[in-house]
Amino acid sequence: MKTTLLLLGLLLSPAAFGETVDAATCGACHEDVASAFARGPHGAAMTRRSPAVFSSSCVACHGDGKAHVDDPKKENISRIPAPGACLSCHAASGTTPLTTPAHARGQVGCLSCHASGHDAPKADPLLGARPHDLCGSCHESQKSAAKLPYAHRDGSRPFDCTNCHSVHGKTRVGRLTLLGNGGPCLDCHAEKAGPWVFPHAPREVNGCVACHQPHGSTNPRLLTRRAIQPLCLECHSNLPSTHDQTKGRYRNCISCHRAVHGSNHEPKLFEE
């Protein structure tokens, strides 16, 4: 069967006629691969655009296959498409290359996370696994944090990393903007957004992560400390003499300073 397909491929060889290789020519030898591509999301999308687009799908990703058709070997074809091949189509939809520093240093490419056009994706958009598991294969500590008693979960299922993070560059919800004034946290916690006449200074400097663990914590409200007192004392160490820390009434700061995210009336963030 393979010999027959090879002979058929050679007979159909566009190189013999000086023509461009098309999907039908590739499918003469790579029948299973071509069939899987045609049934998959990539193939279906190209077919919807036009038959001509689908016909050129193989060379769009793997390069001009004339030399490969004449002499089928791995060295004269691009077996694994470079990121530029993906962006030749996806850049038009706003997708940008992976420019976050860690991804660039780790040489993470499109196919590091996405299924190829020939494989059935495990999750959208064409991912090799659910975002939580896929990102967690590198970011193990963050994945583990989602199992702590207090975490961002939908029932028992951790939130997908892509709910808060964009992996394709330094966008508003990119990695570093979590340290900004609220970042993507405010997409869900809009009541904490303000603007306040008297904002709580730490959030203005380090954002929500000044007090909260974003991925998971052993502490209620995802706080970085088990109790309120030591958390507040990290910044407010110069307490007035009236705040005797041996007395319980002064150890629960938010019993008085309830407007902890900001106030429109009280510079000392008393209850409004």
pLDDT score recorded for residue 96: 62
The whole-number average pLDDT for the span 59-68 is: 86
Please answer whether residues 226 and 219 qualify as being in contact, where contact means their C-beta atoms are separated by less than 8 angstroms: yes
The whole-number average pLDDT for the span 128-142 is: 90
Nearest residue to 258 (alpha-carbon basis) of 270, 249, 243, 250? 270
Relative orientation angle of helices 31-39 and 41-49, to the nearest 10 degrees: 70
The whole-number average pLDDT for the span 239-263 is: 87
Strand, coil or helix: 54: helix
Q: What are the structure tokens assigned to 102, written together?
A: 């860690």
Q: What is the pLDDT of residues 158-181, one digit of tens each?
A: 888 888 887 775 554 455 455 556
CA dist 10 and 28 (Å) reads 9
Q: Tokens 């039908």 belong to which residue?
A: 24
CA 130, 131, 136, 141 torsion-angle sign: negative
pTM of the model: 0.71
CA dist 225 and 213 (Å) reads 9
Q: What is the pLDDT of residues 67-102, one digit of tens each?
A: 888 888 888 888 888 767 887 777 765 566 666 667
How far is CA 121 from its chain centroid? Answer: 16
CA dist 254 and 241 (Å) reads 18
Query: pLDDT confidence of 148, banded at 50, 70, 90?
Result: very high
CA dist 170 and 27 (Å) reads 40
Query: Is the per-residue pLDDT at 255 higher than 60?
Result: yes
